Structure 1
């Protein structure tokens, strides 16, 4: 702090907006230090001390403290239907929500995968990208991406320290007005937008937290508004019908923007079309304006052909499993075409690099081998149905053990029915989330849904502690395969962990800690760049030995 500012500072003064802005001159990212404040020797000493301090800082621990600060706020499952506090914080920080163009993505299922595909396509075009998705699997850094990588602990902490005084200002203003302080997701949105501005990024791809119209991410104006398939979810917050939910989600459409939507049921399409007309926005809908024209399974993913807004793109490698990912890829390509104006064909090689480079953790994600363990964050009927279909397309297990845990407020009936059809064995558990349905209660619901006889046939078992459930499933899969091998018959057993993002996140963290994929990790670590290039084909997929 400068000498002049030090003299102005009053430790007893209330941290009002006017006082902090006066003290910091309205420049929150300015530390106030000028070289003229110190002689050369003092400046050199301070620089040395600062370097030592930074070198000795445990940034991971500091980032974990940031997460604890965020978690002390009202959780993201209880959003406040408002925009003003988030906008106020962004304005105090220098209008950080206006510093970059945005592609804004909402919908019910496929948002994160579509966001990651969109980000990868933009990055392949040479743009510096920001990405905000939710939720995370293991660490908060996963939600905020810069140029395709989770933000570093150091930059996360630095940006948090920059915005924290201004979050306090808004909290105090809300308290004075008798309103709740900024929520977890509101504060996270401000943090992400600060990180994007600090980077700085050329474009941000932002996934809404919930809904659209009053979601905190909506303080920024999307140049392109993207809609993945909309179905029932969060009815307690968004409405009881798909039309009501679509109306809320359509609130992200901004004047004269481009609107790109996946194929929707008629009542949803009516809402999106009406909202686009009111905002004089240009609407591009699947399959009229763009479509998947071919889709084939390939080693490591899919080969997808897409009729885009401006060109045909054939045999694109998509390194994501599941037929629905072909449609997510088409949606992302159309969104990027719209971002660039909608009339100019994209370079094929660049598009192929973008679709091949996208990854989506927690979506049909293989986290273990010997035995094979797949996690998927399906948490509603639409997602569960797609998961069941994708498992049949992607894997050929002789037996599948499903470990299931669901959160309160979710449509258990719609989640259980498709998963029960593909499960040979059901293990019911619960995550550490306070919103998790107790395992015994969930098991009772499952028995009512599938019937007592089918529950017996599926060898339904309750294991309350999630890690114990994972261990039992993996051990049974291994033992069954070993017995079959000794008998001279090939027999593969897989484990699928699903039902909630919290359960999937716990599995991902344990898999990493306990090294469920040792062979794969060792092989990847040992491959040189030249060996890797010979290991994969021209499209980025592993070569098929056959």
Structure 2
């Protein structure tokens, strides 16, 4: 890769049709591979690919993040504070909301179309070698996410960056990102999700996720269920790593509702940080911020050096978490939230109650096939809201009729209506909400659905709240 190049070079090519077409061709090639819904529990193919490329995953130190909910929000906060401290950052998150280049970010910006296409062309011959070796041994070629991970490492090395913030795709131990050795391993709350892949209990899921802990790492964890915490404690002991847990080593001291989000105070690993403006809603985001602060403290000063106030304030003041309790339209209000499991739904309902003042809600709701529909519905139903059931544009989407039947059994037929197309569901929901300023539309149940709703809102110029 060309060290002299800048991943978001001299000019911004995002409006250049040729570069955009080249980047879209990269995404099409990724989609031709085994999809993200069917990850393979293996590391050897990814390790072989990066080895052929000269180990780009070792070009910069890594902060590695796993958990069930809050991974992307926490990753973005960590990255923003690292950038505020003067470091050049690389960030890998998943999934994307609108364009796949959102997943690979350099210094806080989605990677340019030109850079992603150029790096793709450079790694293609090496991907072909690995694919041929896999097929020769009777294995499936590199998957979508394995290939994306290799591409991201190549882009970060090409930039180059000073530090990589790396969010796992699924699990941890066998996730393709785990070819990297995280200097800091970060755990957001662990709960039930992806049981078919990760295990049917919190203990089993935590064991899979604990695989990102490498020898002598700094481990930073949100508050966890007892079963998950025991697993992390055992893993930290086995790897001779240090474990810092929210509520003990660090904590949220205060969270107050403020215009556009909240004011928080946090006790970190090495000091206190007061009255930080966090432009995100929900107590869970305050807790994500506390985890992020502790992670940055662990990375920059081994947890023993207090961060400069401006690093925390400047970093968190620009923290963004698209698709998470985000208002994408006003008059009437439309809020999107990527809650796709019961734990995420709990955070959504709590935040709607604490940070907003609506009397009536309608949930535009669609899920993927492997999700706990009844568990999510049980939580959302506590809000008293009604449901317009639709589906995300995904081959993994759960049938509208199935979801409607589950919701009807949970909340009654008078609170549930099926609308096959998302745009029709949004039109109907907005028409209902427009009848009163105390009504709102909440789009939730699937990250894919949220991304589609955001694209529709932008295309129709609904305006922001």
Q: TM-score, normalised by structure 1?
A: 0.82
For the residues of structure 2 that align with 1:249 and 1:55, how far apart are their CA atoms? 39
For the residues of structure 2 that align with 1:423 and 1:78, how far apart are their CA atoms? 35
- Secondary structure (helix, strand or coil) at the match of 1:58 reads helix
Give runs of aligned pairs for residues 430-449 of structure 1, distance below 5 A.
Answer: 430-449=391-410
| Matching residue of 1:224 | 184
| Matching residue of 1:150 | 110
Q: What is the Cα-based RMSD across aligned positions, in Å?
A: 1.8
Contact 2:184 2:219 in 1 (8 A): yes
Give runs of aligned pairs for residues 318-329 of structure 1, distance below 5 A.
Answer: 318-329=278-289
Change (3 A) 1:304 1:30: closer
| Matching residue of 1:495 | 441
1:415 equivalent to 2:386? Answer no
| Matching residue of 2:418 | 462
1:60 equivalent to 2:6? Answer no
| Matching residue of 1:352 | 313
Displacement after TM superposition at 1:425 (Å)? 2.5
For the residues of structure 2 that align with 1:467 and 1:215, how far apart are their CA atoms? 35
1:245 equivalent to 2:214? Answer no
Give runs of aligned pairs for residues 103-502 of structure 1, distance below 5 A.
Answer: 103-340=63-300, 341-450=302-411, 452=412, 455-456=413-414, 458=415, 460-478=416-434, 480-481=435-436, 491-502=437-448
Contact 1:307 1:313 in 2 (8 A): yes
Contact 2:104 2:110 in 1 (8 A): yes
- Secondary structure (helix, strand or coil) at the match of 2:33 reads coil
Identify unmatched segments of 5+ residues in structure 2: 5-10
| Matching residue of 2:8 | none
| Matching residue of 1:531 | none
- Secondary structure (helix, strand or coil) at the match of 2:200 reads coil
Aligned residues: 457
Contact 1:402 1:423 in 2 (8 A): no
For the residues of structure 2 that align with 1:395 and 1:508, how far apart are their CA atoms? 20
Counterpart among 57, 61, 78 of residue 97 in structure 1: 57
For the residues of structure 1 that align with 2:327 and 2:229, how far apart are their CA atoms? 35
For the residues of structure 1 that align with 2:175 and 2:86, how far apart are their CA atoms? 30
Identify unmatched segments of 5+ residues in structure 1: 1-27, 32-50, 482-490, 521-546
Contact 1:156 1:195 in 2 (8 A): yes
Contact 2:3 2:159 in 1 (8 A): no
For the residues of structure 1 that align with 2:288 and 2:17, how far apart are their CA atoms? 41
Runs of 4+ more than 4 Å apart: 28-31, 54-57
Displacement after TM superposition at 1:55 (Å)? 11
Which has the larger displacement, 122-131 or 423-432?
423-432
Contact 1:377 1:504 in 2 (8 A): yes
For the residues of structure 1 that align with 2:351 and 2:118, how far apart are their CA atoms? 41
- Secondary structure (helix, strand or coil) at the match of 1:413 reads helix
Give runs of aligned pairs for residues 497-512 of structure 1, distance below 5 A.
Answer: 497-512=443-458
Change (3 A) 1:358 1:434: same
